Amino acid sequence: MPRPHSPRRARITFSDSAAKQLESLTSEADIHALDRALVVISVDPDVGEPIPGTAAGPRLRQYADDVERVRILYWVSVLQTVVVVAYLEV
């Protein structure tokens, strides 16, 4: 009997400003903490809290992990297959 597949993860991409923030990370602990948070978001893009805003732009969400001290602002594509990270705080 074939094994059921696990749900597909969303692909993570970075805005230009988030990519620059990512490049500035040098601590292995910070990189590990960020990686763990990105995995959580890729598995469940709705995990973060919606940030109130206007309907004109993307619907931003915020994911914060108080244990790892990570905060990520992101938005999810319409089909929930791509998560675009707009801001990182580690």
Digitized pLDDT (tens) for each residue of the chain, 90 residues in all: 555 656 688 999 999 999 999 999 999 999 999 999 999 999 999 999 999 876 777 789 999 998 889 999 999 988 888 899 988 887
**Identity of the amino acid at 46:** D
> How many other C-beta atoms lie within 10 A of the C-beta of residue 6?
7
pTM of structure: 0.83
Q: Which residue in the block uniquely carries the two structure tokens 């923030």?
A: 21
pLDDT for 58 equals 74
